[in-house]
Amino acid sequence: MGARFFDYTFDYTLRRVFPAPGVQVQSPRVGDHVKVPVDLLLPIKPLARAKTRLRGAADHGAGDPTAHARLVVALARDTIAAAAGASLVRRTVAICTDRLVCRILADDGIEAIAGEPGGGINSALQYGETLLRAADPTTAVAAMPADLPALRPSELDCAVRDALATGGRAFCADQARTGTTLLLAPPGHPLDPRFGTGSAAAHQASGARPLTGRWPGLRCDVDTAADLARAHELGLGRFTHDALHVHAANISPRRKFTVHPCDIA
């Protein structure tokens, strides 16, 4: 049976996130039964260092720290919500040292762990992998950036299914084909993350197989205003949508801001 595609709309009343009209998303095949448990890691930078190229995107260029923090957290919450909604993902774990972000995620019922002190994203992912495999050596471990606000659970299910079918490490490249939006290692294979500049080429060079499915939301990571506009075309998750529609009267670039959970959540 060939791939099936569906058109969806965004239903704010029910708070469900679907692709925008005209966007085609590959659907999981009927009868797929993946028995390998999959645990997913999502690293999140501290707010002070996160998504610096997006500053001003949430408030028409004003650069308000609260508006920026709200957007960064919203991107992560939408990504995690989609991941938690994927039927093939058993456990979703954020890797984060920012106390404010951890408190917000805890309110959402999301588990968060801190990476080893002094390490970068790849060492944090390796630390998280060690914890997950110690808890269950039979698990497949996956990693995904927390900046995919147009991601659909069905896309992630398709990508996970295809990755497991390779029998080894596999990855999904971003829309520019330079970065990585998903890396998966089955039981018995190290995750061996190579996130950073040129990660798609680095992952492929390390032996991971590229995934070729049509998953626009999974490939749409958001680093710039142009990326955010593309995600908007695909259909944003409700947290990012709300973060971008906070009334401008609540924002003053001349104020000094202290960011509180109630300002962001």
Question: Does the pLDDT at position 125 exceed 60?
Answer: yes
Average pLDDT on 50-61 reads 90
Average pLDDT on 24-33 reads 43
- The pLDDT score that the predictor gives to residue 264 is 55
Question: Does the pLDDT at position 259 exceed 90?
Answer: no
Q: What is the pLDDT of residues 133-157, one digit of tens each?
A: 999 999 999 999 999 999 999 999 9
Distances (CA, A) of 152 to 133, 187, 203, 217, 257: 26, 25, 24, 6, 34
Question: Does the pLDDT at position 104 exceed 50?
Answer: yes
The CATH topology of domain 35-243 is: Spore Coat Polysaccharide Biosynthesis Protein SpsA; Chain A (3.90.550)
Domain extent listing, the chain: 35-243
Residues in contact with 19: Cβ distance below 8 Å, sequence separation at least 6, in sequence order: 6, 7, 8, 25, 150, 152, 216, 217, 234, 235
Question: Does the pLDDT at position 256 exceed 80?
Answer: no
Question: Does the pLDDT at position 219 exceed 60?
Answer: yes
Q: What is the pLDDT of residues 162-208, one digit of tens each?
A: 999 999 999 999 999 999 999 999 999 999 999 999 999 999 999 99
Q: What is the mean pLDDT of the chain?
A: 84
- The pLDDT score that the predictor gives to residue 119 is 80
